[in-house]
Amino acid sequence: MILGETPRRQRVSKLVSWGHWFALANILIAIVIASIYVFNSSLPNSALGMAYLLSNWFSHIAFLTFLGFVLFVLPLCYILPNVNLVKGLSSVLAAVGLALLAFDALLYNKHGLHLSLGSADLIRNETKIFIASFSWQQWSFLGLLFVVWLSFQLMLANGLWKRIERFQKKRIGLPIVSFFVICFSASHGAHIWADANLYQPIVKQDDMFPLSYPATAKTLLSKYDLLDIQNYQRRKELQLESQFTSAVYPTAPVYCGIDNQANLVLLVGTQDKRIGHLGSALDLHLKKAHFDIAGDQEDARFSILYGLPSLYRDVLSNQRPVPLDLTQKLGLPTMIYSAAPLPEGVSTLQVDWDTFAQVVPSTNPKLAIGFVDEEQMNLLLAGDLHKNSTLLLTRMLPNKEVALLSNIDLTDGDVPSSHEDLLPTLMHFLGCQAPSENYSTGQSLLSSKRKWLVSNSNGKIVLIEGQTKTEVDSQGNYKLYDLPDGEESAKPLNMNRLSQGIKHLSRFAQQP
């Protein structure tokens, strides 16, 4: 006797089939919502990084959505006998789950955090502010918005149920599953390789999506002796983000008085013209071992005006440098001239050339910073500027040693310095005794304490100490050079100093 399927078995089979199609529809919706993470993050600058981003985006979001189906919807198909109740509860679960995904995406976009116990305090505070500022009309609108979203899920569930027999005839399940499995395997395999090689275009995407825990070389390859774990740990310690997304600036309030009758001028040459000859012509003191470590002139201008490496340019360029804000508010006229665009934070201090050329030679109190070409510098120095003001002269020449001239004797010329030291030095000239560590990675050249300097250039960490220059790339690989001849050195790496330098550079980085 051939026994047919019982009505209950048929109903369960149909519900399970419907559940898979319902999950697929919501996977596609979730992938679209997750685009908020992608388009509000910096995209990788390599084809491999972009391929990883796409495969991880599709597979991880699909995995999270399908996991929700397995944990919450699938059991309903077997437990509850009522079809309408299953569809209704599944729609509510899907609506709430996708709403949470959207909320997490917006939280990540604003604060760089995902929903977790660690972000609970932030969410609680944000919620209090949110509730306090919302009127009943706005709450009504949000409630209506969720009702519309829930209604869409109900219509989707009913539409799929009515057409389930037609969908069951389509043979597209295997290709779809295969696509997501391939993406999942490829993304985790790529991450294992990237982690072993500290390949930043992939590794820096680790925190982009919620509940993301990609496979790592440390946990897998080292288990089978396929990875030198000591070398891996050492290279990982030498890594530093190419840009920070948030910063604590200043690290402490900057309180100090200044001499608002001071006449202080900093001129920075923008052309590849040596200025050392001006020292003897104007009787200026020459400080050697002064470096422009920035990768380009835009980075150099930021370092001079903010006293910070270009690591912080993206996050701080809209904010006025604390020292320049202080001088302006305490009554010392502060001005900047540059033919090239300046960071938005100092745009209100920018003046045109005619104004700058008229004001700088005067004996009136001021703090003037000018990025000038050779002709403009010669014009300004033709008079008695070096006698009537405290004067510093240098130039921008990326990744080179440049002269630093002043009519005030600076510290020991053997102490390496960079453009990041100029702003603390200017503040020292003005009599500000606030610790420069609160607003700069540089130090005053009138009272230098560190005998080494560290900065970044084109994604590399650069450490200079004595006659040795150390460069560390974004993968943690390093090279040492002798400064006098520029040849690669066989000296051992000073790991302690380099670790100290990395901590020094990242001192202003916002900790989650």
pTM here? 0.60
**Helix, strand, coil percentages for the chain (3-state, nearest 5):** 55, 15, 35
d(CA 110, CA 185): 31
**Strand partners for 373:** none
Which pLDDT score is estimated for 413?
61
- The residues spanned by each domain of the chain are 7-215, 263-508
Contact call for residues 420 and 309 (beta carbons, < 8 A): yes
Gap between the Cα atoms of 51 and 202, Å rounded: 9
Q: What is the pLDDT of residue 1?
A: 40
The answer for residues whose C-beta is within 8 angstroms of residue 176's C-beta and 6 or more apart is 24
| Alpha helix positions (H), 238-350 | 277-282, 297-306, 313-316, 322-329
Fold of the 263-508 domain: Alkaline Phosphatase, subunit A (3.40.720)
Helix axes 83-111, 47-68, angle to 10 degrees: 140
CA atoms within 13 A of residue 24's CA, in its CB half-sphere: 16
CA distances from 329 to 79, 138, 156, 202, 323 (A): 71, 41, 61, 45, 10
Q: What is the pLDDT of residue 274?
A: 82
What are 465's strand-pairing partners? 452, 468
What residues contact residue 167 under an 8 Å CB cut-off, 6+ apart? 17, 21, 160
One digit per residue, pLDDT tens: the chain, 512 residues?
444 567 778 888 889 999 999 999 999 999 999 999 998 877 887 889 999 999 999 999 999 999 999 999 999 988 887 889 999 999 999 999 999 999 888 888 776 778 877 667 667 776 666 666 667 777 788 788 889 999 999 999 999 999 888 887 777 878 899 999 999 999 988 988 887 776 778 877 888 899 888 877 665 565 555 555 666 655 555 555 555 667 889 988 998 999 989 999 999 999 888 887 787 788 888 888 899 999 899 999 999 999 999 889 988 999 999 999 999 999 999 999 999 999 999 999 999 999 999 999 999 999 999 999 999 999 999 888 988 899 999 999 988 889 899 988 876 667 899 999 999 999 999 999 999 999 999 999 988 888 899 998 887 889 999 889 998 876 667 789 998 888 888 888 787 787 788 888 888 885 44
What is the Cβ-side half-sphere exposure of residue 216, based on CA atoms within 13 angstroms? 13
